[in-house]
Structure 1
Amino acid sequence: MVDRSAGVPAPPAFAAASYLLADLDTGEVLLAKDAHGRYLPASTLKTLTVLTVLPDVDPRQVVTAERSDLVDGSKVGLDPGSHYTVGQLLQGTMLASGNDTATALARVAGGVPQTVARMQAEAVRLGARDTTVRNPSGLDAPGQLTSAYDLALIARAAMQLPAFRSLVTTKRVRFPGKEVKGKARTSFQIQNHNRLLYNYDGTIGVKDGYTIAARWTAISAVQRGSHRYLFTAMRRGEPSWRTQAAMFDWAFRYGPQVQPVGRLVEPGELERASTVTGEPRVAAAGRPASAALQAAGPTDGTLKVVGAGGVAAALLAVVLLALSARAKRRQVALARARRGARAASRR
């Protein structure tokens, strides 16, 4: 879905089941494909983990790794019994995509189940109603799903935190190795997995991920001058940074000429709208009781909302994919034509 003006070429092809391109500052959505489709997040979910715990942890705190931290999937290489700072756990989670460091971070932040519950609550607060959290690592788990739209909400909120921005623009650091009594502790280098960060000028984040079931997922953000754009993609067909770069090239060249097809809701906005309309706030699986809101502007310019029972007028104001400016103009023209026809019939 894109609303191009004359002279604006189509955006570049992108092989993914779902993606979204938005202005990071205004929240205006310029381009979307199946933005609310729910897919496995892989390690992009770590963005929500860090967003949730970062305000409450002390990066200087020293913690002891435990055997329970050593979950499946990608690992930084925590050694049970060895000591690490919370800051190093954060680096291991967002740079090297360590499932072990993400699990340790959740444990230190109050416990893994408690952190998962807080992540779910944070998703609801942000309006990320397509998201269901099962673990802090993003490792495949039954029912753990999110959407390109929700990843954009999560990343946009995280990018407002200076500590997070610093973390996701770090390319490489030294990470401590195993502690051995009587010997100097060794270290090894870990690198940021976000290839766009090394190859595309202006990249300011954020996180990518991969599992066999999820395929490649990505959140990326780039700044050029005063403009910042955010791109999210799920179930990508390939991991190349070049296809993301092509999307950003298009955004920076033509973005100001493209009419928004929707916007990212602000934190708490859907909660406030639910209070006004009396809609149930959230279902057990972390989704609205009326089902995920989906909207499209058909050729007659009317707005259709899919959901059990419909949504009251106040909630329509924040529907996730609003009418484009072009559709609104068509709607005004249709209204004028109807008024003209009624006037003619009375003559």
Structure 2
Amino acid sequence: MPAPQQTIRRSLLVLSAALSSLALTAPLALAAPSPTPTPGSSAGSSASPSASPTATPPANMSSVGGARLAQAGTQVDLASGVLVVPKDLTARSWIVSDAESGAVLAAHNAHWRLPPASTLKMLFADTVLPKFPKTTEHKVVASDLAGMGAGSSVVPIKEGESYTVRDLWLGVFLRSGNDAVHVLSHMNGGVDRTVADMNAHAQDLQALDTRVVTPDGYDEPGQVSSAYDLTLIARSGLQKKDFREYCSTVSVKFPGETTKVKGKSVRGTFEIRNTNRLLSGDSDVSVYPGIAGVKNGNTTNAGATFTGVAERGGKVLLVTVMNPEKDEHNEVYKEAAKILDWGFQAAGKVQPVGELVAPKNAAQASAQPGATASGEAGGDTAGTKPAASSTPVAAEEDGSGGVGIALAIVGGLLVLLAGGVFLVNRRWPLPDLVRRRPRP
């Protein structure tokens, strides 16, 4: 094949992944309790046995993203000089992919439909987050907090107090507060309306393994997602500036209760800290170099779940791990770190076994007048124009808890002279934590 045709074919392959960034601006929300839940204290502790997954993956799974991803077991094409996938992984399902190109480097039961726990809050955020400016204030009433499952994780949000939308989203991402999810759901027209919106958005993203029953991820019969879908959802959410800020925030002072001090009303604060242990660290887990979010979860039926994004050496990888069988403290983070380490070593060397597909409306979005290449969106943030060159442009932002987020955006418009076809080839804007946190 002549060189120009090879170039065109490679560019077309890039286009399919790049177009996925041009779509949806709706956020997702997931319910995540503390890393090691106890009965009755997790984000979801439904006792219904029908919500529990089977012990083995189904024989036939979805082929969205490629035929290899429909197969049970580990899917990987090793190349010379690349280490084998870690042998001690016990998760029922996992996937690691290039966040920018969409290439799936390796996967294990990627489309196994399992309870997602609080990782589902990513879909909640990707669906609801753009609907309210972050400065909007809301006074909480009793009905806002009604209907939460027993033992739900909470911020806590207090009835009678006012909170900004930004406060509520920080409560969702850092403390996996089901109370914050319910307040935002009522602002969005109610829980039923929000569930319908989330299911519709999942369909738009082609997250076809996902079925939402409750917006906070609390265990409910029939509520499922997959490692593949959660990765699609995270990739969509990370296109939004506010989503990136919230999911990468380590700690922040949160509004407390109003009390009377010497006759004056004084509102205190308390610290909330991110329960994503690769971001905030723990006694047996170190902060992962380059980590930038995204969301963790843990319920009785789901076990531990986690989706994360990290950058190293110019590569940005997404990893999702669902329900490790090994019963050790923080095991989901330990296995995620091992998969990320392998992925950074293998990126650019292994043949992909699949791809992260574009949302259904990606082609429409790219064809509309004024469509942008950056896909930037969030709370009260409008889209930005594509960069004039293919050189990353960094813009510093202030985040909570001293978090600075640098956005790497590469925009390029290639014109194929044969047929006048336009290709968009750009990097997705993601946090660059190398600038904010030195490597160990």
TM superposition score normalised by structure 2: 0.60
Distance 1:79 1:167 in 2: 21
Q: Is the 8 A contact 1:125 1:271 kept in 2?
A: no
Superposition pairs for residues 164-203 of structure 1, below 5 Å?
164-180=243-259, 182-198=264-280, 199-203=287-291
Q: Is the 8 A contact 2:321 2:335 kept in 1?
A: no
Q: Is the 8 A contact 1:49 1:119 kept in 2?
A: yes
1:235 to 312, 323, 338: 323
Q: Does 1:28 align with 2:103?
A: yes
Bigger radius of gyration among the two: 1
1:142 to 209, 221, 242: 221
Q: Does 1:247 align with 2:339?
A: yes
Q: Is the 8 A contact 1:127 1:269 kept in 2?
A: no
**Percent same amino acid among aligned pairs?**
42
Superimposed CA distance per residue, residues 57-86 of structure 1 (whole angstroms, 9 cap, x where no aligned partner): 111111122334252310011111111111
Superposition pairs for residues 207-286 of structure 1, below 5 Å?
207-237=295-325, 238=328, 239-240=330-331, 241-268=333-360
Which deviates more from structure 2 when the two are superposed, residues 98-107 or residues 6-15? Answer: 6-15
AA partner of residue 277 (structure 2): R
Distance 2:363 2:305 in 1: 28
1:83 to 146, 162, 176: 162
Distance 2:162 2:324 in 1: 37
- Structure 1 partner of 2:141: 66
The 3-state SS of whatever aligns with 1:11 is: coil
Q: Is the 8 A contact 1:127 1:271 kept in 2?
A: no
Distance 1:174 1:113 in 2: 31
Q: CA deviation at 1:270?
A: 10
1:4 to 61, 67, 78: 78
Q: Is the 8 A contact 1:127 1:270 kept in 2?
A: no
AA partner of residue 138 (structure 1): G
Q: CA deviation at 1:244?
A: 1.7
TM superposition score normalised by structure 1: 0.75
AA partner of residue 233 (structure 2): I
The 3-state SS of whatever aligns with 1:17 is: strand
Distance 2:257 2:311 in 1: 38
Q: CA deviation at 1:243?
A: 2.4
Q: CA deviation at 1:269?
A: 6.7
- Structure 2 partner of 1:105: 184
- Structure 1 partner of 2:22: none
AA partner of residue 130 (structure 1): D
- Structure 2 partner of 1:117: 196
1:163 to 242, 251, 263: 242
Distance 1:89 1:270 in 2: 30
In structure 1, stretches of 5+ residues that fail to align are 273-347
**Structure with the bigger percentage of helix:** 1
Distance 1:250 1:235 in 2: 19
Q: CA deviation at 1:9?
A: 2.0
The 3-state SS of whatever aligns with 2:259 is: coil
Distance 2:362 2:315 in 1: 27
> Greater relative contact order (Cα 8 A, min sep 6): structure 1 or 2?
2
Superposition RMSD in Å = 1.7
Q: Is the 8 A contact 2:138 2:164 kept in 1?
A: yes
The 3-state SS of whatever aligns with 2:347 is: helix
How many residues matched?
272
Q: CA deviation at 1:227?
A: 0.6
